[in-house]
Structure 1
């Protein structure tokens, strides 16, 4: 029995001829001092309205769902447009693996752009009481599965977006 060759097919990430993009791995840590107790900071992750005040995708046509339980998760999507470019469909999906109230949150997530998983990450958020508040330590281990047009910018973009997002956390700690 002879097998016939199969014609090259384009995959969902655009590769052809069986070429699989190399996965790039990286890790980064962002630390913040927050003028609130670990329980209050934890609440900004756990309480859906509070989380949505500091954690959101950019763009319009935003959808959002959050289940803060072990094996629960979060989904968000939006359409993001930059002048002179085609709109991008953004999607985020997470799964909580470990939740220790006022102390630790561990979760995984994927980030999609136009239905292509760009990266998958494991995130550990640690909350330690310190004088005058909480020391937050966010450690992220990312696997970049599909490069952007400028792959050297992928990690700095992710790290910068995380810092920017955490910059909004103090406002979410204030009573509404």
Structure 2
């Protein structure tokens, strides 16, 4: 059984108030990525704010984007932006707290994503870096809990997985520019 199978969740429409009483939707996924550069270089892509801004950003105009990073255990990250969809503004926010940072080896953080002040999902993310024959390997494991989701949550889960693949493509383009990017499709 796939822990991320939305068929195990009850149907719920998104709540604008954040008081949705539908059960939380739990799951997890793991993505692997190979790099032709050493893991120290991949780690810098997470730790250096200028590099991170090049691959991690919320949708919306650059002029409205805000991004702060305190990359250490107990520190965190905050990103905010305004996205216009169908003529309506959506205020997006991402917040994280770093729980474990082992240089060039492991990053563990908790995070949450908000739309218009409503927490949509929270996750525990573990990023592990190891040596590989051609350079390094990144393993991204995300354990998520959707609090407010659409329908049975299948589209929300797919959006999270594809969004993470796109983030990893962005990271790859920044730290390993000659690499071939993988399709975002699940």
TM-score by length of 2: 0.82
Correspondence for 2:70: 67
Report the counterpart of residue 55 of structure 2 in structure 1: 54
C-alpha distance in structure 2 between counterparts of 1:171 and 1:11, whole Å: 36
SS at match of 1:106: strand
CA distance in 2: counterparts of 1:108 and 1:85, whole angstroms: 32
* Residue in structure 2 matched with residue 33 of structure 1 by the alignment: 34
**Higher relative contact order, chain-length normalized (CA < 8 Å, sep 6+):** 2
Is 1:91–2:93 an aligned residue pair?
yes
- Secondary structure class of the residue paired with 2:72: coil
Larger Rg: 1
Partners of 1:65 and 1:153 lie apart in 2 by 29
Deviation at 1:11, TM superposition (A): 8.4
SS at match of 2:42: helix
| Post-superposition offset of 1:174 | 5.4
Q: CA RMSD in A?
A: 1.8
Specify which of 99, 102, 105 is matched with residue 103 of structure 1: 105
Aligned residue in 2 for 1:171 = 173
Aligned residue-pair number: 161
Encode CA deviations 1:93-115: one digit per residue, 9 max, x unaligned.
00000001110000000000111
- List alignment gaps of at least 5 residues for structure 1: 1-9
Partner Cα distance (2:31, 2:43) in 1: 16
Tell whether 2:15 aligns with 1:13.
no
What TM-score, normalized to structure 1? 0.86
Q: Distance in 1 between matches of 2:105 and 2:151?
A: 38
Partner residue of 2:6? none
Moved over 6 A (4+): none
Residues 11/91 of structure 1: CA separation in 2 closer, same or farther (3 Å cut): closer
Residue deviations 1:30-83 (CA, integer Å, cap 9, x gap): 11001110111001100110111111111021111000010000000111123x
